[in-house]
A and B are shown apart, each in its own frame.
Chain A
Amino acid sequence: MAAPAIDTTLAPRSEAPVKPRKTYLNADYSVSSWLLTVDHKRIAILYLVSILVFFFLGGLFAAGVRLELLTPKGDLLQADTYNKFFTMHGIIMVFFFLVPSIPATLGNFLVPMMIGARDLAFPRVNLLSWYIFILGGAFTLVAVVGGGVDTGWTFYTPYSTTYSTSNVMPAAIGIFITGFSSILTGLNFIVTIHRMRAPGLTWFRLPLFIWAHYATSLIFVLGTPVIAITIFLVGLERGLHIGIFDPALGGDPVLFQHLFWFYSHPAVYIMILPGMGVVSEIITCFARKPIFGYSFIALSSVAIAVLGFVVWGHHLFTSSQSVYAALIFSVLSYVVAIPSAVKVFNWIATLYRGAISFEAPMLYALGFIGLFTIGGLTGLFVAAVGFDLHVHDTYFVVAHFHYIMVGGAVLAFLGGLHFWWPKMFGRMYPEAWAKVAAIIVFIGFNLTFFPQFILGYLGMPRRYHAYPDEFQVLNVLSTAGASILAVGYLMPFCYLLWSLKYGALAPANPWQASGLEWLTPSPPPTENFAETPIVTEDPYHYGTDDDAEAVHVA
C-alpha cells in the first residue's frame, strides 16, 4: 500500500485563512467539556488515559516481581512485600486494565461508528460508567498507598476474609464498584447494537468487531453481577464476621471459588474476545481479502461467550472439588477450544493467497494469532485433570495465561490502537518506529514468558519470592525479556504522543479499509455522520474490482 496521502479536504488550498473543520476533538477545549462530555468518542479517550495510567502502575509492580526473581534468594523484596507486589500487579492489570482495555476505549469509540449511529444508546450512562471506574480505581489506589493487599488477585477465602492483615477491604470495595462500570458498558453496547444499527445493517452485515463486542457484553452483563455479590459477601464476612465462606463459621471456602470463577473464567473471554474482534478487522484489511468464514467467526464469538460460563471448575482441580465435577469441567473445557480454533483457522484461511502487507497493526495481529494459539493449546494441557495436578500453581500456568492476556489481549489492544489511531486523532503514527516496536514487543514477550513454561514444568511454584538455584538461568532470561518488553511498551507511548502534534495528517481512510467508521473524516465530527449511512452490502469488500481500484489510486 502506498504511503498515506494528506487529506486534501483538510489542507488549506489558498493563502486565505481557512476555518478548521469541526471535530469531536476541537469542538470545545474546556476541562468541563471533557469531564462532562456525553460523546462516546471523548469518553473513549477518558478511558484510554485512565487505563494507561493503571497499565503503567501494574507494570511497575510486575517490574518489582521480575527484579526480585533475578536472583534465587529473596533479597530485593521481603516475602510479605513480594506477596503484595504480585497481588497488586494482578488486581490492577485484570480489573483496571485488561477488562476495560479494548471495550471501553476502542469499543466505546468504534461501536457507534461501525453501526452508523450518532452515539451509544445511553450516553449519560456511558459517562457514569467512567466515573464509577475512576471511583473504584481510587479505592484500589487507597489500598495500594495504605500498604497493599497480599491475597493474590483471587481473594481466596478464608485467607482474605479472616487471616490477611493487609488492605483487603478497600481493594474489595474498589473491585465491587468497578464491576458496575463494566455492567453499564455491557448494557449500553447490547442495547446499542440491537437498537441503533443503520438502515440495511443486518446482523450478518455487522463487522466482526461488533460481534466480538456483543459477545463480550453478554459476559459483562451475565458474569459481573456474580463477582459483585461474591466480593460483597467477602466484605460482609471480613467486616462484620457474618459467616458465609469461612469453615470456622460453618462455611465452605470452595463455594467461594465456584462463585469467583463463575465470573473470573468468563472474564478471560472478556479480555480476549474484543481482541479477536480487532484481529479479524486487521487481518482482512491487510490481507486485502474478504474474511474467510464470516458467519463462523461471528457465531464462534457468541459460542465462546456462552461456553465460557460452563468451564470454571477447571480452576478448582486441586481445591478439593469432587473428581466427578472435575471430570465434567475438564470435558467442557475442551469444548470451548472448538470455537477458538475455528477463529484461528479462519484467520489463516483469510491470509492464504492474500495480498499481505506488513504494517504495524498487521504485525501485532500476526503476533496475536501465534501467541494466542500457544496460550490456547497450553490451556488444553491444564484443562486435563492429570496434567493440571502436576503443574497447578506453577509457572506453567503463569506462562499459559500471560500468553492469552499479554500475547493475546495486549497485542490486540496495541494493534487496534495503531490501526484506528489515525481515525481517533487525525494523525498518522510513524510507521517505521511502530514496526520496530511491534517486533521488540514480540521478542520481549516470548523471552519473558516462554522460559516460564519450562520453569513451571520443572516444578517452580508461582507466588514465591525465592527459588532453588537451578532455576536461575531461566529466571534471568525471563527478567531480561521483561526489560525488552518494557522498552517495547514505552516506544509506542512516546511516538504516539509525538504523532499527536507532529504526525502526518491522516486521511479519512488511510488503510483503504471497509467499514462505516472509515467513511467519516479523521478525526470524526461530534455527531459522527452528517447523514445516517445506508448499508447495502456485506462487510469486507476487499479484493473486489472496486477495492483494487482504490488501492491503485492510493
Chain B
Amino acid sequence: MSHEAEALPIRLCLGVYVALISLTALTVGAAFLDMSFLNTPVALGIASVKALLVMYFFMELRHSSKLTWVMMGSSGVFLTIMIMLTMSDAISRGWLGVPGK
C-alpha cells in the first residue's frame, strides 16, 4: 500500500510456510493410504486448506476489503456452477438406457 501499513510479519510468513510444507507431506502420505472413496475428497480438502492459507496470509486477504472477498468468492461460486451443471449432464446421461439420452 502506498501509505504506511502493517507489514506482513516474518514469523507469520515462516509459520505459514511450515504449515504448507507439512500439509504437502500429509497429502502425499494420505494418497498412499486406502480410504476407498475418501481419497479424493481428502486430497482436495488438504489442497483447499493450503489454498486458504496462501490467500489469507500471503495474499493478505486478512487485511483486504469485503469486496475482495466477494470477488474471490464469486469466482469459486461460478466455477462450482460450471462444474456442477456440466456434471449434471455427464452423470445422468446413461440413466434412461436409451442411446443418446
A258 touches B89 (CB 8 A): yes
Residues of B near A14 (CB, < 8 A) are none
Q: Does A254 contact B (CB under 8 A)?
A: yes
Distance between A265 CB and nearest chain B CB, rounded to angstroms: 11
Given A194-B67, A322-B101, do A226 and B82 touch, yes or no (CB 8 Å)? yes
Q: Does B37 contact A (CB under 8 A)?
A: no
Map CB proximity to A onto B84-101 as digits: 1 under 8 Å, 0 otherwise: 011011111111100011
* B88: nearest chain-A partner, CB-CB: A325
Residues of B near A252 (CB, < 8 A) are 90
B89 touches A254 (CB 8 A): yes
Bin the interface of chain A by size: 20 to 34
Q: Does A144 contact B (CB under 8 A)?
A: no
* A254: nearest chain-B partner, CB-CB: B89
Residue of A312, A313, A322, A328 most packed against chain B (CB within 10 A): A322
Map CB proximity to B onto A212-252 as digits: 1 under 8 Å, 0 otherwise: 00000000001000100000000000000000000000001
Q: Does A320 contact B (CB under 8 A)?
A: yes
CA distance A310 to B91 in the complex (A): 17
A324 touches B100 (CB 8 A): no
Chain A, range 274-318, C-beta contacts under 8 Å to B:
309-310, 312-313, 316
A323 touches B85 (CB 8 A): no
Chain A, range 312-362, C-beta contacts under 8 Å to B:
312-313, 316, 320-325, 328-329
Interface of A is mostly: helix
CA distance A316 to B85 in the complex (A): 13
CA distance A322 to B67 in the complex (A): 38
Q: Does A262 contact B (CB under 8 A)?
A: yes
Q: Does A255 contact B (CB under 8 A)?
A: yes
Distance between B15 CB and nearest chain A CB, rounded to angstroms: 33
CA distance A252 to B94 in the complex (A): 14
Bin the interface of chain B by size: 10 to 19
Given A226-B82, A310-B81, do A322 and B89 touch, yes or no (CB 8 Å)? yes
CA distance A325 to B85 in the complex (A): 8
B96 touches A323 (CB 8 A): yes
Residues of A near B96 (CB, < 8 A) are 322-323
Distance between A156 CB and nearest chain B CB, rounded to angstroms: 16
CA distance A325 to B96 in the complex (A): 12
Given A194-B67, A222-B74, A222-B75, do A321 and B89 touch, yes or no (CB 8 Å)? yes
A324 touches B95 (CB 8 A): yes
B82 touches A320 (CB 8 A): no
Given A194-B67, A222-B75, A258-B86, do A324 and B81 touch, yes or no (CB 8 Å)? no
Chain B, range 42-101, C-beta contacts under 8 Å to A:
67, 74-75, 78, 81-82, 85-86, 88-96, 100-101
B95 touches A255 (CB 8 A): no
Residues of A near B95 (CB, < 8 A) are 322, 324
B88 touches A320 (CB 8 A): no
B88 touches A324 (CB 8 A): yes
Residues of A near B85 (CB, < 8 A) are 258, 310, 312-313, 325, 328-329
* B74: nearest chain-A partner, CB-CB: A222
CA distance A324 to B91 in the complex (A): 10
CA distance A242 to B2 in the complex (A): 47
Residue of B67, B75, B78, B95 most packed against chain A (CB within 10 A): B78
Residues of B near A254 (CB, < 8 A) are 89
* A225: nearest chain-B partner, CB-CB: B75
B89 touches A309 (CB 8 A): no
Distance between A257 CB and nearest chain B CB, rounded to angstroms: 10
Distance between B60 CB and nearest chain A CB, rounded to angstroms: 18
* A195: nearest chain-B partner, CB-CB: B67
* A329: nearest chain-B partner, CB-CB: B85
Chain A, range 171-221, C-beta contacts under 8 Å to B:
194
B100 touches A320 (CB 8 A): yes
CA distance A259 to B95 in the complex (A): 22
A323 touches B82 (CB 8 A): no
Residues of A near B88 (CB, < 8 A) are 322, 324-325, 328
Residues of B near A328 (CB, < 8 A) are 85, 88
CA distance A255 to B88 in the complex (A): 12
Q: Which of A194, A310, A316 contacts B89 (CB 8 A)?
A: A316
CA distance A310 to B82 in the complex (A): 8
* A252: nearest chain-B partner, CB-CB: B90
Residue of B75, B91, B92, B96 most packed against chain A (CB within 10 A): B92
CA distance A320 to B89 in the complex (A): 9
Residues of B near A255 (CB, < 8 A) are 86, 90
A322 touches B82 (CB 8 A): no
Extra 6 A-B pairs, beta carbons < 8 Å, given A254-B89, A259-B86, A323-B96: A226-B82, A309-B81, A310-B85, A313-B85, A322-B93, A325-B89
Ordered by A's residue number, 10 sampled pairs between the chains whose C-beta atoms are within 8 Å are A310-B81, A312-B85, A313-B85, A322-B88, A322-B93, A322-B101, A323-B92, A325-B89, A328-B85, A328-B88
Q: CB within 8 Å of B: which residues of A?
A: 194, 222, 226, 252, 254-255, 258-259, 262, 309-310, 312-313, 316, 320-325, 328-329
Give me the 9 closest cross-chain CB pairs, A-B, nearest first.
Answer: A325-B89, A324-B92, A322-B92, A322-B93, A320-B100, A258-B86, A325-B88, A222-B78, A321-B89
